[in-house]
Amino acid sequence: MRFTVPQVFSTVAAALWSRRLRAGLTILGITIGVTSMVTISSILLGLRNGVATVFRQLGTENVFITKFDPESTDPMPVQSRRRPMRPEYAEILHQLCPSVEDVSLTIYVPSVWHGRPLTARVRGYEADRIVLSGRSANHYDVAPRDVQSGRTFVSEEDRRAAHVAIIGHQIAETVFPGQDPVGRALTVDGAEFTIVGVFEKAKGGFLGENNQDREIVIPLRTAHLRYPQLAEYLLTARAAPGELKTATEEIREILHRIRRIPADQPDDFGLITADQVIRAFDTLFAIVLAVAVAISSVALVVGGIGVMNVMLIGVTERTAEIGLRKAVGARGLDIVRQFLLEALFLTGIGGLLGSAAAGVAILVIDALLPALSCPLSGWAVLLGFGSSLLVGVFFGVWPAMKASSLDPVVALRYE
């Protein structure tokens, strides 16, 4: 006797309904596991996309030149003792590297200077945790950035060390709430600067925050005069379109020459591109994601054990029924299919409810932390739902095989 698919589904639904309390608790365990898996995966993906956006904004055709090399085997204390990048390197690289269109200079002021944190203030308002940097006037030609109001400073202002500044979106909102800061004075670390521009709110970030929004940029020569002790320069070289790899090799060759590094010796500097940083972060992201999924899978395993227990109890309670079905012609494959379907129903319903719950959780997170930007990921939903079905198959096989192996004569006598 063969059972049609509708008959099998009807039998499965009836069997689960007769044990609805146990089935409901099992579904709850699966739901919790899938919810955590999908939610965590979506949050991590949102973080990854935010970080990738930050580095892409810095310029996908740019090479960042510093004495620190993230791919070097030298520990950071050793790298910190390397010779710094010199400001004259910018003009040398521009002149001697055919694939390099322009090179800008940046110098960062430590957040704590002479024992006190840097602050920016106007009367009645103050911003701490600022990022203060000096940049050459051509920097925003090399790495363009949108300005909300005003402008960037020009070469003449850099040459005469003018006290002008461009501020980030968050600084503007903190010290000039509801006002246009352009043309107004801002005191930064005890010196007064006239604001000539305000940057647009930066895209991307980590945990909803982008340091560019807390940035105050002053001309490079102004920074030299204010902080003459600083000597750690970051060079940003813009490659010609499609020439990033060639430009990187040209820069490496020239730096070996001007820093007098033998050709057979490793670099004592770092050449970093946005894609390189994103690939490194993706490697870290994959490891963190794997660990997070493994941890959230514990709830799925617990739910799977619940599925197996429910199914084994069902086999015991329905021994006589199984014997009767076998006596009237049901094959072992039909019995296996029925019990596997019951397991898949339990975990599948849990997977669907878990995916829906994760969607609600993501909406709540977006409402509470809009800057985090972690949309519900389609592949995370597929991962969660697919894992729930896999748990159903894995933990449903043993009860199904046990049911199919029952002797019909013995089963019919079972009380």
Helices and strands per DSSP (H, E), number in the chain: 14, 14
- Residue 9 clears pLDDT 60, i.e. is over it: no
Q: What is the 3-state secondary structure (H, E, C) of 358-370?
A: HHHHHHHHHHHCC
Which residues, including other chains, have CB under 8 Å from residue 154's CB and lie 6 or more apart?
137
Which residues, including other chains, have CB under 8 Å from residue 254's CB and lie 6 or more apart?
92, 93, 96, 97
pLDDT band at 1 (very low <50, low <70, confident <90, very high): very low
pLDDT of 368:
77
Tell me the average pLDDT across 187-204: 90
Is the model more confident about 263 or about 90?
90
Lowest-confidence segment of 23-37, 172-186, 257-271, 360-374 by average pLDDT? 360-374
| DSSP secondary structure letter of residue 373 | -
Sign of CA dihedral 147, 149, 154, 157: negative
Q: What is the pTM of this model?
A: 0.73
pLDDT band at 50 (very low <50, low <70, confident <90, very high): confident
pLDDT of 81:
86
pLDDT of 208:
58
Beta-strand relationship, 233-239 and 270-273: unpaired
pLDDT band at 7 (very low <50, low <70, confident <90, very high): low
pLDDT, tens digit, for every residue of 16-49? 666 666 777 778 888 888 888 888 888 888 878 7
Task: Please choose, from the candidates 71, 76, 88, the residue with its C-alpha nearest in 3D space to the C-alpha of residue 266.
Answer: 71
Highest mean pLDDT among 44-53, 101-110, 294-303, 370-379: 101-110
pLDDT of 383:
84
pLDDT of 178:
85
pLDDT band at 334 (very low <50, low <70, confident <90, very high): low
Task: Please choose, from the candidates 107, 24, 46, the residue with its C-alpha nearest in 3D space to the C-alpha of residue 380.
Answer: 46
pLDDT, tens digit, for every residue of 123-134? 888 888 899 999
What average pLDDT does the chain have?
A: 82
